[in-house]
Structures are given as C-alpha cells and as structure tokens.
C-alpha cells in the first residue's frame, strides 16, 4: 500500500515558473501520470488505473489523488460527521450546488433535497459524486427519517421565532434545514422545526445568501463538535 508521502505532489505554477515567466500564467491543477509508468503503480484497489496513466486533474485534496470515486466516497462516509443538511428545492436554486460543495468540505453525513428532484448542480463542482445526496418529495418523508434516526430538526432562518445561532448549543445529531433563496423555509416545514436560529448581522441587508448562511451554520456545528481538520 502506498503512503501519501510517496505520491506526486499537486502541481503549482510557482514551482516551475522562472524569473522571466509571464505573470499571467495559469496555475496547473492536480498531478500528471504516476511517475515510473505501470511498473511503478501502487498495488492498492483504491487507485484508479486510468488516473494513474493519465494524471488526476480533479479538485480533490492530495490524500485522494488517483483514488476512484467509490474509494473516496467510502473513506469519507467512514468518518463523516453526524450532521445532516436539508434544503428546499422550489426553483432549481443555484445555491443548492454551493451548499452541497460546502457540505462536502465539512464532510457532513448527507444532504437532503426536498421538493423537486432535479437541482442545479453547477455550484457543486462535482462534489455531489463524493457525498450522500438524498431526495424527499415532501417534508414529511424527511421529518419521518429524522425522528426515526434521533435527529433534532433545526431551521436556519431569520423569522420571528429565531434565536441567535452564536449563543445556541447545537445537538450532535443535528438536521439543519434551509429554505430556498428569497422564500426562506416554507411555513409548513418551519412549524415542524424544534428550534429556529438566525445568524447575527451588522449591516443594512435583511438577509444573507442562503449558501453563505449554510456555510456559517455548518461551521458553527463543526466548532462545537468536530476536532481539528486533517492536514
């Protein structure tokens, strides 16, 4: 089995650019083919032979260079945090993809899409391939799952019931619910949340983008329940 230290490091233009190199040089992402050819390939089923041959230009951390999608998903699932995130999909909101990408960065256990099955994946930057993304046609199916799994349902919204997120003690088994951009959490789902939390703001705008709110809320949970991030 190959140790991470034996893998080629991700390319960076600063390593190869000389003093006379153009200042607008595009940074090269990822790594090229595994050095030494097929005879030097690691004997490890987690590695994708096509990536070993052609290089790995995906947006993944060095730990997962050359790994198959299935191997990455399995490794992430094995150490996922017991945090779940749900978002209502009323209009194929572009923010859903951004929420999925952030959920991958914090390695939440799953993202739940409520409502329309199709959602705008552009903002996810293919991180949905590595994450458990589930669909629920109606809120009742999600809430039934949460009750069976022992999760507290917490809405992130700035309505009348909302209390400051900054002062809240978040449960370890937490299902955070977010509404669609503009509409917020639907009244029927909001009424089923055990608590509603708001993010403190200091400017003139009434609300912040739902993808930004999701990132702030997920990080608040991480600060309370997760240890230091891996190097």
- Taking residues 148-158, report their average pLDDT: 97
Q: Determine whether 45 is exposed, middle or buried from the number of CB atoms within 10 Å of its CB (0-12, 13-18, 19+).
A: exposed
Q: Which 3 state secondary structure label does DSSP give 70?
A: helix
CATH number of the domain at 80-225, out of 3.40.50.140, 1.20.120.640, 3.40.1280.10, 3.40.50.720?
3.40.1280.10
Q: Is the pLDDT of residue 39 over 70?
A: yes
- Please list the residues that pair with 24 across neighbouring strands: none
Q: Which among 55, 105, 69, 65 is positioned nearest to 226, based on CA atoms?
A: 105
Tens-digit pLDDT profile for residues 42-73? 999 999 999 999 999 999 999 999 999 999 99
Q: Which among 116, 120, 143, 130 is positioned nearest to 60, based on CA atoms?
A: 130
Task: Note the pLDDT of residue 180.
Answer: 86
Query: Which residue reads 């809430």 in tokens?
Result: 143
Q: Is the pLDDT of residue 126 over 80?
A: yes
Tens-digit pLDDT profile for residues 198-231? 999 999 998 899 999 999 999 999 999 998 998 7
CATH 3.40.1280.10 in the chain is located at: 80-225
SS3 labels along 103-136: HHHCCEEEEEEEECCCCCCHHHCCHHHHCCEEEE
Copy the structure tokens of residue 115.
Answer: 């409502």
The DSSP element (H or E) to which 178 belongs, if any, is: strand 174-178
- Taking residues 122-140, report their average pLDDT: 95
């Amino acid at each position: 089995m190959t140790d991470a230290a034996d893998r080629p490091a991700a390319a960076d233009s600063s390593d190869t650019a000389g003093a006379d190199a153009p200042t607008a040089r595009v940074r090269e992402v990822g790594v090229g083919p595994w050095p030494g050819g097929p005879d030097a390939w690691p004997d490890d089923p987690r590695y994708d032979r096509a990536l070993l041959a052609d290089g790995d230009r995906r947006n993944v951390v060095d730990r997962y260079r050359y790994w198959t999608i299935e191997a990455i998903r399995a490794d992430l699932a094995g150490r996922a945090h017991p945090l779940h995130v749900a978002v209502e999909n009323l209009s194929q909101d572009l923010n859903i993809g951004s929420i999925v990408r952030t959920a991958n960065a914090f390695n939440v256990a799953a993202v739940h899409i409520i409502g329309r099955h199709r959602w705008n994946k552009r903002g996810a930057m293919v991180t949905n391939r590595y994450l458990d993304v589930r669909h629920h046609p109606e809120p009742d199916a999600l809430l039934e799952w949460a009750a069976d799994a022992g999760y507290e349902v917490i809405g992130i919204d700035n309505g009348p019931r909302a209390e400051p997120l900054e002062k809240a003690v978040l449960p370890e088994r937490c299902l955070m619910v977010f509404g669609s951009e503009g509409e917020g959490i639907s009244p029927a789902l909001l009424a089923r949340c055990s608590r509603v939390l708001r993010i403190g703001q200091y400017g003139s705008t009434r609300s912040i983008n739902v993808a930004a709110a999701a990132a702030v809320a997920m990080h608040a949970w991480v600060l309370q329940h997760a240890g230091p991030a891996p190097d």
